[in-house]
Structure 1
Amino acid sequence: MATRSPRRVLVTGGAGNVAGWLARTVPGDVELHVTRHRTPVPVDVAAVATVHGAELTDAAATVELVRAVRPEVVVHTAYVQSDRAAIVDATASVAGAAADVGASLVHLSTDVVFAGDRPPYAEDAPTDPITDYGRWKVEAERAAREALPDVCTTRTSLVVSTDPMDRSTGALAAALATGQEVRLFHDELRQPIRADDLAAELWALVALDRARRAGAWHLPGPEHLSRLELGLRLAARLGLDAGPVVATSAADHATPRPRDPELMGARRVELGVRLRPVDG
């Protein structure tokens, strides 16, 4: 496996969980640039990266930004789960801008590009999403491939950080700390991954030769947990009373949800990252 890291890397979504851990674990030979939209990037991220304001849905502005930075690799982590434009249009803009300057692209996608009714899913399995978010992510993957046929598409599951807390973990902790009821599915399975472990795998991918990096990579966590099990484990990790946690069924949700989009990550073995339990 090639080990040389590109000298200049641009990471989108600098205020987000994954980008934050990419910054905290940035290799010493990487000149890191990150984008931000409305939310300021954390202080520790700004300390190690050059921060650029960006509206990634604006294709012309994104090209201008990427031309100014001239990265060798773009790692695209930015998204807003409820906003199609922030997923599809932004990815198309970022991929087009990367192609314009000859940069390669590592694109962060999701396990819910699969319906979750025929697990496990290999990296070459056909996508069949059943949620808007999953459909938009499939559109984004397609847009990235059209702009850059050798795009590296990484699919992962729930990305968890306890220090600092990711948004979902923070919401869980805030609710439990005040005794509010928390309803979690006992019959929806996911493969949560520690954000720092995912960052380590992404940096390992960035260090690969471009041709070797191309294609789909499945990067789930090492455990297969229900959302209920995950919530209880995180509550214990944070020292919080899990009494307010109530088990519910995904079958009762108003819209269909992927019940078990389990990913098989056959390619990841060459990345050499030891994955840890999500609450380890």
Structure 2
Amino acid sequence: MSLLVVGGSGLLGLEVTRQALAAGRRVTATFHRHAPALGGADWRGLDIRRRDDVVALVGAARPRVIVNAAYRQADWATTADGAAHVALAAAAAGARLVYVSSDAVFSGAAVRYDETRAPDPTTPYGAAKAAAETAVKGIVPSAVIARTSLIVGGGASQHEKHVRALASGAVKGVLFTDDVRCPVHVTDLASALLELAASPHAGIHHVAGADAVSRYELGALIARRDGLDPAALPSGLRAGSGMPGPVDVRLDCAMTQSRLDTRLRGAHEFL
């Protein structure tokens, strides 16, 4: 199966690329600024804000499957418009599309969300992801839209780096004890995305970890794994901090997990 990984230089995209290469697939992967030092893939520079460039690349690569893991939180044109450009190119090429979305599409008012819940974002990033989901569903009805949560793994994620910086005193800040998500290991997420790509399933799927933990609890687990003192991590409350966005969002993944051989581990297990 030939595969195009859009956003292949990011944490998730790189793991999808690694796993696909290990499975013997032909992989084209994109980067925005610098190509990663991962051999075996055909690395191509791409700005998904440029629709014609996306269409040209998909036409040249002729993938059977496209996994779109590209985003920029502060950039509507990348997160929303770019997702539409990839969907249009996938439709024109007749390619299977897996689009990676986020739990940011929810407000947190319901706390627990399964795949049937409608988005109700409260941040620009959440609104961009919700708009991208709508575009993908309308352009490629057979696509998989995979909503996920905090992605952790191998020490390379932003959250892991932030925890180490906080523990060492290199940066100031706190980890919120009331900000709850369902963190997922990057290897589990990448495996699940590739499995969904090869399946007949379509529509919304929730692909997150089995445990609902606060950012502080997650930080303490990371610190213990890395031989750091969790007591060195400053804690605080998000409520009343003035920081926008949902506080407690828990993705219910029961339906999606029933369709997968990949087991979506919880943070207490993988850390």
SS in 2 for 1:95: helix
Partners of 2:79 and 2:132 within 8 A in 1: yes
Task: Name the residue aligned to 1:234.
Answer: 222
Partners of 2:166 and 2:233 within 8 A in 1: no
Task: Name the residue aligned to 1:128.
Answer: 120
Structure 1 range deviating more: 265-274 or 64-73 = 265-274
Task: Name the residue aligned to 2:111.
Answer: 119
Partners of 1:19 and 1:77 within 8 A in 2: yes
SS in 2 for 1:233: helix
Deviation at 1:180, TM superposition (A): 3.9
Task: Name the residue aligned to 1:225.
Answer: 213
Task: Name the residue aligned to 1:260.
Answer: 248
Shift in CA distance, 277/125, structure 1 to aligned 2, threshold 3 Å: closer
Q: Could you state the TM-score of these two structures normalised by the residue count of structure 1?
A: 0.90
| 1:137-183 deviations in Å (ceiling 9; x for gaps) | 001111112211222100010000134x1123123223423454440
Task: Name the residue aligned to 1:20.
Answer: 14
Q: Could you state the TM-score of these two structures normalised by the residue count of structure 2?
A: 0.93
- Mapping of residues 42-57 of structure 1, within 5 Å: 42-43=36-37, 46-57=38-49
- Structure 2 unaligned segments of length 5 or more: list them: none
Task: Name the residue aligned to 2:258.
Answer: 269
- Mapping of residues 121-200 of structure 1, within 5 Å: 121-163=113-155, 165-178=156-169, 180-200=171-191
SS in 1 for 2:112: coil
CA distance in 2, matches of 1:179, 1:148: 45
CA distance in 1, matches of 2:25, 2:103: 29
SS in 2 for 1:252: coil
Could you tell me the percent identity over the aligned residues?
35
| 1:169-214 deviations in Å (ceiling 9; x for gaps) | 1232234234544401111110000000111111111121xxx221
- Mapping of residues 41-80 of structure 1, within 5 Å: 41-43=35-37, 46-80=38-72
Task: Name the residue aligned to 1:106.
Answer: 98
- Structure 1 unaligned segments of length 5 or more: list them: 1-6
CA distance in 2, matches of 1:119, 1:100: 38
After superposition, the CA RMSD in angstroms is: 1.5
Counterpart of 1:19, as a letter, is: G
Task: Name the residue aligned to 1:246.
Answer: 234
Deviation at 1:24, TM superposition (A): 2.2
Partners of 1:197 and 1:276 within 8 A in 2: yes
Deviation at 1:122, TM superposition (A): 1.4
Counterpart of 2:257, as a letter, is: R
SS in 2 for 1:149: coil
CA distance in 2, matches of 1:41, 1:202: 22
Counterpart of 2:4, as a letter, is: L
